[in-house]
Amino acid sequence: MKRDRNDRKTKLPISWRQRCALCALPCAVGVLMFSVIPFLRVIYYSFIKSQFIREFVGLDNYISVLKNEYFRLAMKNSFILVLHGVVPLVVIATFLALIFMEEAIKKGKFPLFYVIPAAVPTAAVVSIWRKFFFWCDNCAAIDVLFIWKNLGLAMILVLVVLVSIPKEIFEAAKLDGADKKNIAFRVSLPIASPMISFVFLMGIMNSYKIFKESYLYYGTNYPPDYMYTLQFYMNNNFAKLNYQSLAVSAIYTMILCVLFVLIAAVFIRRYNY
């Protein structure tokens, strides 16, 4: 009898697939508990009047947030930031990647040195920015900080693709009489364009994180109007415990993000096929 039980133990009562599921379970439960379920509650919050009066109000919250002038300012600034922060970032990163390409192919190594700014904590470098950009009364200071932090990583990402282009393609282009400029614009860039759109997407995502930079730079929850981005709006609503407008603006942001991701995905697809 005892032996029988031992046998069963060596055979293991649960199957391989069940054990796989068991492995996945702890983390999956964690994600559900800390992200997914609270997220559903946020959606619920966005449709009720307040936490205390749990009355369904339809889209009222959505409309009142849209009417809020600070929300509109924050949205506008977040959009403009893409123009004057992310676009230069991508252009400069691509340009630098083209320049570093030849050497990277020759050495077979990436200049990882340039990624350091992305790793250095923002709070540590922001004091130097404050010291040298005190004269600056527009968003240039934050833009420069943003580009400084993200440029190296963006360049490396483009570089990885450029280096992986087979040599034969360049040789064929040379045989056809293309000069360096032609090769760059007609060969390298089109091949790297899915990665460039990915870098663009990443830049947009990082531009949402710019709150950290500007909060530390200005040291206040009420920065000048031109730097008032979405996270400031949400932070100030956090301070007021205004869950309804917080929930609504989170959902608006999410919709925007999904749109961006979809557009980028379409771009990446189109170039891939």
Partner 1 sequence: MRAARKFIAAAFAAIVIIPIVLTIALSFWNGAPSLKPWEELLFNCFVFYDGFWNSILYSVAITGLQLLVAIPCAFGLCMLNTRLSKVFVFVCFILMMMPLQVTILPMYIGLRDMRMLGTRFAIVLPAVFSAFGIVVLYLFMKRIDIEQVEAARLETSSILRIIKHVVIPQIKLAILGEAVYVFVESYNMLEQPMLFLDDDHLQTLAVFMSRMSEFSDDILFPAAVLFMLPILVGCATFRMKSLGGGISKKFSRTIPAVVLALIAILTVFAKDIHYSSLTTVKTISLGIKSFDIDEENVERHYAMPYQFSKYNVYYVVDNETINKEERNCLRQVYIKLGDVENGYCPVLNNDYVGEPIVVRTTGTLSDGQEVVVVQRD
**Which residues, 30 to 69, sit near partner 1 by CB under 8 A?**
30-31, 33-39, 41-42, 45
In the list 118, 165, 183, 184, the residue contacting partner 1 (rule: CB under 8 A) is 118
Burial pattern 106-121, b for ≥16 Cβ within 10 A else e, equals eeeeeeeebbebeeee
**Nearest distance, CB of residue 98 and partner 1, angstroms:** 10
Our CB check for partner 1 shows the closer of 196 and 198 to be 198
In the list 2, 5, 107, 131, the residue contacting partner 1 (rule: CB under 8 A) is 131
**Nearest distance, CB of residue 192 and partner 1, angstroms:** 18
**Matching residue, tokens 């900080």:** 145
Measured distance CA(17)–CA(146) in Å, rounded: 46
Measured distance CA(152)–CA(90) in Å, rounded: 11
Phi and psi torsions of 58, nearest 5°: 65, -135
Q: Which long-range contacts (CB under 8 A, 24 or more apart) does 137-140 make?
A: 137/224, 138/226, 139/81, 139/84, 139/226, 139/227
Q: What is the DSSP letter of 199?
A: H
Our CB check for partner 1 shows the closer of 126 and 161 to be 126
Binding mask of the shown chain, residues 159 to 188, with x at each position contacting partner 1 by CB under 8 A = ------------------------------
**Nearest distance, CB of residue 146 and partner 1, angstroms:** 13
Say whether residue 219 binds partner 1 (CB under 8 A).
Answer: yes
- Contact region for partner 1 (CB under 8 A) — 52-60, 80-88, 116-124, 181-189? 116-124
